[in-house]
Amino acid sequence: MVPGNNTQISEFVLLGFSKEPEFQLLIFGLFLSMYLITVFGNLLIILAIISDSHLHTPMYFFLSNLSFVDICFTSTTIPKMLLNIITQTKVITYEDCLTQMYFFLLFVQLDNFLLTVMSYDRFIAICHPLHYTVIMNPVLCGLLVLISWLIGALNSLLQSLLALRLSFCTILEIPHFFCEFKDVIQLACSNTFLNNVMMYFAIGLFGGGPFTGICYSYSKIVFSICGISSARGKYKAFSTCASHLSVVSLFYCTGLGVYLSSAVTHGSHSSATASVMYTVVTPMLNPFIYSLRNKDIKRFLRRFFGIETNKELIVLGLKNCH
């Protein structure tokens, strides 16, 4: 197939992970399972926070927003991939591809910003506990989330509009399971200098900036925790920080690694595999890491599934027997 200018392209081909038919059922089952766990787990977290008045705090407000964004994040890519496997086609239309790129960029930035906001919330709670309720008031919390949405939406719109000006070649195969932004840009026949400049500028500003803020916040948290005399208090605080930082590290290392590797390798299936970590695995693990270890969330889940009620009935029955 010889490359050539084609500004009126109608579709792209998503190569996915494997061309072997025998692996398609395995891939379908694996991703469907992870998607359902992600959606169900994050919905439970949102339901718990809305239902329990004890969870109406800034930390859980941000967590509910993170859970909502994670559902949207995975729903941007996984359902289309599952549909393609069912229909045995790898095609995505030009319009759907641009739409997918926009929402993917939006939600990955929101994930990024919310992780940063949550680290700031923990910084205030641990380092300035007496001023926590004054600083983290409902107005500030709402503004932080609103600003995150505005910045994410505007940058995603800018990147998508810049992609619209590109003309594409006749080779329109994307070595990914979704319309990954950098892979689509690499397929263009026209000059992509401006697109690449804006892409890496956005990565540095909206990726490196928040990551620096997270590192600063947690460095202050660690310094503050070291001043705690209680060994149990130190362990509990460090455990919470380690859980958050493990997800942050997973998200940033895989996400930024995919984009930065594009300067060295092009069209590699290794980037698709790495993308699974921050597009599927991280959103799936967030409910477990952030919430299921929390006693308030556990209490709600026991009530939701009727476990606590059954225990109370058993205890009541034993008392009646006596």
**pLDDT 10s digits, 125-168:** 888 889 999 999 999 999 999 999 999 999 999 999 999 988 88
Per-residue model confidence (pLDDT) at position 170: 74
Residue 147 contacts residue 112 (beta carbons within 8 Å): no
DSSP labels, 63-130: HHHHHHHHHHHHHTTHHHHHHHHHHT--EEEHHHHHHHHHHHHHHHHHHHHHHHHHHHHHHHHHH-GG
Q: Where are the domains of the chain?
A: 11-295
Per-residue model confidence (pLDDT) at position 5: 44
Closest CA to 245 of 155, 146, 123, 133: 123
Q: How would you list the strands of the sheet with 91-93, edge to edge? A: 91-93, 11-14, 173-174
For residue 262, pLDDT beyond 90: no
Q: What is the pTM of this model?
A: 0.86
**pLDDT 10s digits, 178-226:** 998 888 998 888 889 999 999 989 988 998 899 899 989 989 988 888 8
Per-residue model confidence (pLDDT) at position 122: 87
Q: Which of 39-43, 121-125, 305-309 has the highest average model confidence (pLDDT)?
A: 39-43
The matching CATH number, chosen from 1.10.3210.10, 3.60.70.12, 1.20.1440.230, 1.20.1070.10, for 11-295 is 1.20.1070.10
Token pair belonging to 198: 């804006």
Per-residue model confidence (pLDDT) at position 222: 84
Sign of the CA dihedral running 228, 234, 237, 238: positive
Would you place residue 104 in the very low, low, confident or very high pLDDT band (cuts 50, 70, 90)? very high
Q: Which of 63-77, 209-223, 267-281 has the highest average model confidence (pLDDT)?
A: 63-77
Per-residue model confidence (pLDDT) at position 4: 43
Per-residue model confidence (pLDDT) at position 6: 45
Per-residue model confidence (pLDDT) at position 293: 63
Would you place residue 171 in the very low, low, confident or very high pLDDT band (cuts 50, 70, 90)? low
For residue 76, pLDDT beyond 90: yes
- C-alpha 31/C-alpha 77 separation (Å) is 11
